[in-house]
Structure 1
Amino acid sequence: MESIGVVSRGIVREVLTRYNYQEWKTLMENYLRGENLWEVVESDSVFDAQRNAKALHIIQLSCAPNIFDQIKHFQTSHIAWNHLANVCRSEFKVHQHILHDVVSDFSEHKALYKFVQTGDWEGTSSYLRGEPNAIIWVPPSGRTVLHVATIEGHITIVKRLVHRNNQLLEMQDKDGNTALALAAGYTGNINIATFFINAEGGKELLAIENKEGEIPLLMAANSGRKRMTRLLFLRTSSDVIDQQSLHNRVLLLERCIQAHIFDVALKLLKSYDELPIESLPVLQELARIPSAYLQASLWQTMVDSLKNGTLIDVIGAIMHIFIIFLTIFRYPKIWEKILRESVFRHKNEFLQILRYYKDIISKFNSSQLRDASVYDAMLEAAKHGNVEFINAMREANHDLLWAMDDHGRDIFSYAVIHRKHNVFQLMHTLCGNKINYRTDMFGDNLLHLAARLGPLCDLNLRLGAALQMQREIQWFKGVKEVVHVKCREAKNGEGKTPEEIFIETHKELMKDGEKWAKETAGTFAIVGVLVITVMFAAIFTVPGGLRQDNGMPILIKDKWFTVFIVADVISLLCSILTVLIYIYLQKSCYAPTDFLNRIPDMIKQGLWCLSLSLVSMMIAFCAALGIVLQKSSLYKHFYLGILVYGGYLIISFIPLDFIFGLVNPIIPRDFLQNLPH
């Protein structure tokens, strides 16, 4: 019980983090006062070794691990307390937002600024005729009428104000920002920025720094505004960029890579005759780019599947293409953006940037690699699944493959912990069929790490807990197949085997998966019952009616009647099968291994049956409509249009990512090809 810690004894509600300093400070101060320890914390002159040690111990135990690391070397509680106050206050410094109410800042010319803020040029023009000097009047915030018009995005007022007085362009607010700087860093309005640059004297605005020493180009890159950054980079002369400090040029490079503006970053790199050492921290940003554009890899995977894949691979690739074309019609703006950004071009630019750094890294020795944090960058790349980065650095220096953190975890470990199958496959290919037995400082081998609950990604949050559980089992079994045999029964520092850790850490996920599967089954079963009810009733109310003498359908020989009957029967049978499948799922007992194949397969089968039932119901409806309207030329093809549109709606609104996640394993097939089923 002694290991529970201070927090559980009622001193503070939760340990100190970056977000709860004020509450933590109040509770901690009250507790220290009650324990007669506040005097040694508050005053540097009062020193009692025993009381100081006790107060310091309480403060340290009440901090989160990352906060504790900052104060663990302090010898007095007074210094530690003041350090926490300075750090937390600086982290939570509130900055005034750029779009605050500018009218409340002053009393003079309030009406003018109100006109500008609301976009009323007639009111603005009328006011300036009576007060012509108000156009260049500067309020306490330093923002002129041009600043306000720029913030609000009123391009008409911006143009007319500049035509009235060109001096407004160079005027800066209290932060040193010109109107162009505000457009570049805060609003991202391309039209206004282009007008400023093309105006008389506009080129000089590109070189004006604010009080933080940043030109508009730097501010645009910091905001991640790609189009604005490209515009300003093209219009800013190379002399202006070269005149910036080395720190600012490296900062611009880093910000462009962070925002994935690779074309600008590549041009910056080409401007160097030799890359400066100061640019090496950019490697960390390159390493954090996840999987180097999965979209491009997806296209390549589909092409490979169509050329060399099995029948299942070909079907999967065709489904991928069908889904993509379907989403083009449903979300045209998204695909317009993808085409405009040109995924393939960006990936090529990313690889070219890597080549620049590969050349400089190849000249480093081990100590220089360590000083430049290249080993850390390799681990970051493994964490984010960036195999392109790992491959490039490996070609520069093969020793980088053995990067290891302070806990004794290498690239293999990071790939397993963060579930990056592409990194694991790459390392497995490079290191041979079997992986050497190794443990970290906690005694965990790779199978122990695979047994722990992995991070939840966006895909798994959409697909549900059951498929997250499936993914976890796949990972555990996949790693188990490739690690050393003795890893399977080895015990870690806590005396636990991988199997024990897996069961312990996945209890809650398994409960959530069972709940999710049963709720999903219940929802789909209700839909199936509704379809059964409709289709069962439809068979006794056939279109055209029945004969009075023998009860046979009047239009039994009509081809559309045959279509109606067949579609009705198929829909009814598929709905019944759907309900039976989901009732079985509702009443089943769930074991961990069931989440690997049985549960996903049954949900998939039920969903396909339900989809076929809905499509068949739509066909039966259109056939019945065709019988009713077959003598009307006005509606001759009306029911065909309903059939096509109805089929589109059914297919497009079914959760395709759900189906696709069930049809194709989340972990690639070659990673799981030897798994026992």
Structure 2
Amino acid sequence: MNSIKRDAISRQIYKAAIQDDWDSVSHIFETENWRLNAEISLYGETPLHIAVGTNSSHRFVEKLVKMIVTSGNGVGMLRTTIKVGRPYNALHLAGKRGNCKDAKLLVDYDPEFPQTVVSDDGGTTPLEMAAWKGHKETVHYLLSVTRDEVGLSGTSPFRGTPGANILTQAIATGLYDVALYLVEKYPDLVGQTNYTGSATALSILATKRNDFPSGCHLTFWQHIIYSRLDDTEVKVADIESGGRGPARTLLRRIFGKAPYVKHIRQIKATHLQTEQLVKQICSTLIMNFEDTTTWKVLGHAIHIAVRHGTHELIEECIRNYPELIRYEVEGLNLFKAAINHRQEKVFNLMYQISAHSLDTMAKVNGENALHLAANLAPYHRLRTVTGVALQMQRELLWFKN
């Protein structure tokens, strides 16, 4: 077959793969002896990679996978990796695209598929890919079929850096139920850094201020609904199935399913999960790790939390480990960092500390609190109020207080 005809057939298969049109190209695989895992794109993708990557060509994937499996070299062909760039296989792409339907199909034919890794990428598994992109359904599925066993990367997907990658990515994308599961089942991960070498689960969580009550700005009516969603009594099922009495049941069934109420319910569920996650991580560190590790992990996280204004995390960390008020980063302790980053709630939290501790903290490295208050606030904090006059007024209040 000459190159011109081969390129024409490749384009035909490519078009069919993205349009879920198996019937138009099935004869090519059946009668023209075309390789099922032939590269048909400039990036070295096979028909399976392209079809799975669309997350819509499910019939094409099903027919192609069946043909591959019955060809005699099924598993090998299913695991074919992209030759250009990162060597992802089909299940990696399913995780990346959130294609849970095709992921299930691939794993049904090859139960070992979830253990495969991108060899030149630190051992990335399909589960890690799905967590990186925040595809909840796919993450839950891959979590159920990925085993805690040492693989080609030299470690388990749930241990060391690979496990920390999954945990931190789950937190970064807001999959807090997954994070809670991982922290409970694999407690060693809370003291482990991810691929960056510095970020831990708690330090990533410290950046997620909008997922804590302090970072959530509700309207009057939203706040009313939020306050009526009791943490223990008004669960999702309770709202949808009703409370006491037929009238109350009817109202809950109507309003509980309204998108507006569901949105607020999800906000509160997120707040409860982040609160629980902080508590779980803190208690796990204190119970299972040496003081040096606990000090480092908690201290690094609270200074990130100061910068972002995540005061709930700071409060929980200090409650569990009071000495953290003395933790310093580049000469700044918690008290000074709160002033430097103009975080009022964190600053007010410090007034709950004893007078002796505050006095000691305020005299580090020659600069006192007034020196820091006299400096101009960071730009991202200045712009929380509009107009130069209001910004100047805010700065003067910081200096006077």
Question: Do the two structures share a fold, i.e. TM-score over 0.5?
Answer: yes
Does residue 281 of structure 2 align to residue 357 of structure 1?
yes
Residues 1:403 and 1:359: Cα distance change in structure 2 (over 3 Å): same
Q: How big is each residue's C-alpha offset from its partner over 1:467-508, in whole Å with a ceiling of 9 and x where there is no partner?
A: x64255235314513xxxxxxxxxxxxxxxxxxxxxxxxxxx
Does residue 184 of structure 2 align to residue 270 of structure 1?
yes
Alignment partner, residue 127 of structure 1: 28
How do 1:156-171 and structure 2 match up within 5 A? 156-166=59-69, 167=74, 168-171=77-80
Asked if structure 2 preserves the Cα contact closer than 8 Å seen for 1:418 and 1:455, the reply is yes
Alignment partner, residue 206 of structure 1: 114
Asked if structure 2 preserves the Cα contact closer than 8 Å seen for 1:453 and 1:472, the reply is no
- Determine helix, strand or coil for the equivalent of 2:25: helix
Q: 1:403 & 1:427 partners in 2: Cα distance?
A: 13
Asked if structure 2 preserves the Cα contact closer than 8 Å seen for 1:291 and 1:387, the reply is no
Alignment counterpart, residue 202 of structure 2, candidates 259, 263, 283: 283
Q: 1:306 & 1:145 partners in 2: Cα distance?
A: 52
Asked if structure 1 preserves the Cα contact closer than 8 Å seen for 2:160 and 2:189, the reply is no
How do 1:60-139 and structure 2 match up within 5 A? 107=7, 109-119=9-19, 120-138=21-39
Residues 1:458 and 1:217: Cα distance change in structure 2 (over 3 Å): farther
1:218 offset after TM fit, Å? 0.9
Q: How big is each residue's C-alpha offset from its partner over 1:499-530, in whole Å with a ceiling of 9 and x where there is no partner?
A: xxxxxxxxxxxxxxxxxxxxxxxxxxxxxxxx
Which letter does structure 2 place at the counterpart of 1:281? T
- Determine helix, strand or coil for the equivalent of 1:429: coil
Q: How big is each residue's C-alpha offset from its partner over 1:9-47, in whole Å with a ceiling of 9 and x where there is no partner?
A: xxxxxxxxxxxxxxxxxxxxxxxxxxxxxxxxxxxxxxx
Q: 1:225 & 1:129 partners in 2: Cα distance?
A: 35
Residues 1:273 and 1:431: Cα distance change in structure 2 (over 3 Å): closer
- Determine helix, strand or coil for the equivalent of 1:133: coil
Alignment partner, residue 39 of structure 1: none
Residues 1:124 and 1:359: Cα distance change in structure 2 (over 3 Å): same
1:368 offset after TM fit, Å? 4.5
Q: 1:294 & 1:426 partners in 2: Cα distance?
A: 15
Aligned-residue sequence identity (percent) comes to 22
Q: How big is each residue's C-alpha offset from its partner over 1:228-273, in whole Å with a ceiling of 9 and x where there is no partner?
A: 3233223434558994353211221122122221111111111136
Q: 2:115 & 2:170 partners in 1: Cα distance?
A: 19
Please give the TM-score of this superposition, normalised by the length of structure 1.
Answer: 0.44
How do 1:366-445 and structure 2 match up within 5 A? 367-369=292-294, 372-406=296-330, 408-431=331-354, 436=359, 438=362, 441=365, 444-445=367-368
- Determine helix, strand or coil for the equivalent of 1:209: coil
Which letter does structure 2 place at the counterpart of 1:115? K
When Rg is computed on C-alpha atoms for both structures, the one with the higher figure is: 1
Residues 1:134 and 1:395: Cα distance change in structure 2 (over 3 Å): same
Asked if structure 2 preserves the Cα contact closer than 8 Å seen for 1:415 and 1:424, the reply is yes
Asked if structure 1 preserves the Cα contact closer than 8 Å seen for 2:190 and 2:284, the reply is no
- The two structures, once aligned, show a CA RMSD in angstroms of 4.1
Does residue 369 of structure 2 align to residue 446 of structure 1?
yes
Asked if structure 2 preserves the Cα contact closer than 8 Å seen for 1:416 and 1:450, the reply is yes
Alignment partner, residue 648 of structure 1: none
Please give the TM-score of this superposition, normalised by the length of structure 2.
Answer: 0.70
Asked if structure 2 preserves the Cα contact closer than 8 Å seen for 1:226 and 1:259, the reply is no
Residues 1:226 and 1:337: Cα distance change in structure 2 (over 3 Å): farther
Asked if structure 1 preserves the Cα contact closer than 8 Å seen for 2:116 and 2:125, the reply is yes
1:379 offset after TM fit, Å? 1.2
Alignment counterpart, residue 49 of structure 2, candidates 147, 168, 184: 147
